[in-house]
Amino acid sequence: MPVLLLVLLLGVFAYFVWRARTTTLTRDCRWRQVSRDGAWQCSFCGSKAQGKNMPTACQKVGR
């Protein structure tokens, strides 16, 4: 049982490390798709981006 708990703990830790490396979004980033042609807009700061997939990098001015 302790081995299973240790494996679960390591898995959760590895997920958080992986998640931190794959995105630079902040807590305030709230991307919304504004049209079907791939326009995205952040509802927090108003930044705009093009593409089919949601942006994975914060595009806030001054960041």
Q: What is the pLDDT of residue 12?
A: 95
How far, in Å, CA of 16 to CA of 5, rounded? 17
Q: Does the reported pTM lie above 0.85? A: no
Q: What is the pLDDT of residue 8?
A: 96
Query: pLDDT category, 61, cuts 50, 70, 90?
Result: low
Structure tokens at 17: 């490390």
pLDDT in tens, 17-59: 887 776 666 667 788 888 877 898 888 888 888 888 888 777 7
Q: What is the pLDDT of residue 23?
A: 61
How far, in Å, CA of 27 to CA of 33, rounded? 18
